[in-house]
Amino acid sequence: MTTSTPNLALTLYNSTTDSAEFFSNFRAVIAGVSTSSNFYKIDTAYGTMQTEIDTLNQTRGAIYVPATFVSANYYEANSITEITEYIEDMTIILALDTASDGTVTLNINALGTKSVVKINSSGAAVNIAAGELMEGKNYLFRYSGTQWVWVSSNSADQIYISGTSGNIVTVNTDGTLLGTTAMIVKASGSELDTGTDDAKFATAKAIKDSHNVPSVAPSTSGNIMVSDGTDWTSSDIKADSSEVTTGTSTSVLMTPDSLRGSDYGKRTAYVTVVDPATALAVGDGKRIITIPSEYNGWKLVNAQASVTTPSSSGLPTIQVRNVTDAVDMLTTRITINVGAYSSYAATTPSVIDTSNNTLATGDRIAFDDDVAGTGTYGLDVILTIQKPGA
């Protein structure tokens, strides 16, 4: 007697008990045209499985869909191989080549034009507003069966905040947004006179309109009246250059002039005159630089030098010379002690010639090596300049 398989109910023959079965019956059951034949059942099952596989392939994850603007917020996307039909719950990552300017529709692979919508705070599907979908950004959409619905959209009306209309939005301790704080209101001049309402804030105009403006003037023109009724002169509140350089006072104000005259108003140029691997040799114009227009009128205020290999005897001696004006800029030249790498600890520090230290646009500044020392290699000159005061 024949039996059946558990899943497709295919007919099974036993070689012993079913040996008397006619071949024609056997063939009809196995490969007959009837919908109950084994082959027909297998083919039907395969078709069902293939349909389910295709559905899974198209809904397995978000499919990237780059869409091109065609006209009036109508976009098309072609050659998206993963999509052969619109399937409910299919998800796509939509990227537009042109920002939306109102209601948006989309046609993928010429399968039909569908609306692109969002869910508002009331749970209703509404059209996309102008500017909500930006050029080149990626947005996640799910196909509802009739239209593409924006998933987790972040446009303004997607955010729900608990509170009262017109209140100020604040951040709660758990990170949520609340609208329970009443809006801050401007006070009038008369309310400032009363001075009893602590729920409003004062504007400059309200203060001006009120009667609480101090009527006492400073005793000296140009001074400042402070809250205790005393005057402060400009020297009481203005920092000088040394105070700006020190940077420790908390009771005075910095002016542009005090900044200019401080160390913070200086510029330093580090000029390589002789390569570190080259022995220092006596000679004028070992290197010449040109002053840019940005430093026109600035003054040389300090000059130092350093070497790669120090002298074993004799003091390397350097002059800074303004070739354009044909003057030396130092009354005492830069010297570097024997065995020292720089002039910062020189026995005789360099001195600026304050009659010849002004720089002009295009000035050619030369570095002259008057004494090389013994075994000295390399030479760098460090110039510090500063803009003069008025």
**Tens of pLDDT, residue by residue, the chain (390 residues):** 788 888 888 888 888 888 888 888 888 888 888 888 888 888 898 888 887 777 666 556 789 999 999 998 899 999 999 899 999 989 999 999 999 988 999 999 999 999 999 988 788 999 988 888 889 899 999 999 999 999 976 555 455 566 677 677 777 776 666 766 666 667 776 776 676 766 666 676 766 666 555 554 555 555 555 545 555 555 556 777 777 777 777 766 677 777 777 877 889 999 999 999 999 999 999 999 999 999 999 999 999 999 999 999 999 999 999 999 999 999 999 999 999 999 999 999 999 999 999 999 999 999 999 999 999 999 999 999 998 875
**Do 97 and 11 belong to one domain?**
no
Question: Looking at 126, 157, 188, which one is the last position of a domain?
Answer: 157
**Do 271 and 245 belong to one domain?**
no
**Do 295 and 337 belong to one domain?**
yes
Please give the Cα distance from 342 to 304 (Å, whole number): 7
**Do 233 and 251 belong to one domain?**
yes
Give pLDDT, residue 58.
Answer: 59
Task: Name the 3-class secondary structure at 245.
Answer: helix
325-337: burial string, b at 16+ Cβ within 10 Å, e else:
eeeebbeebbbbb
Please give the Cα distance from 17 to 3 (Å, whole number): 11
Tokens describing residue 247: 């940077």
Give pLDDT, residue 213.
Answer: 52
**Do 373 and 308 belong to one domain?**
yes
Helix (H) or strand (E) holding 273: strand 266-279
CATH classification of the domain holding 321: 2.60.120
Please give the Cα distance from 29 to 113 (Å, whole number): 48
User: By the 8 A CB rule, do 384 and 302 touch?
Assistant: yes
Give pLDDT, residue 388.
Answer: 86
Give pLDDT, residue 339.
Answer: 97
Number of domains comprising the chain = 4
**CB neighbours of residue 153 within 10 Å:** 20
**Do 119 and 53 belong to one domain?**
no
Please give the DSSP secondary-structure letter assigned to residue 211: S
Give pLDDT, residue 220.
Answer: 58
**Do 77 and 50 belong to one domain?**
no
Nearest CA to 277 out of 152, 135, 379 is that of: 379
**Do 378 and 323 belong to one domain?**
yes
**Do 270 and 366 belong to one domain?**
yes
Is residue 76 assigned to a domain?
Answer: yes
Give pLDDT, residue 221.
Answer: 59
**Do 305 and 343 belong to one domain?**
yes
Question: Looking at 130, 157, 184, which one is the last position of a domain?
Answer: 157
User: By the 8 A CB rule, do 86 and 114 touch?
Assistant: yes
The packing angle between helices 38-59 and 23-31, to 10°, is 10
Domain that holds residue 21: 3-57
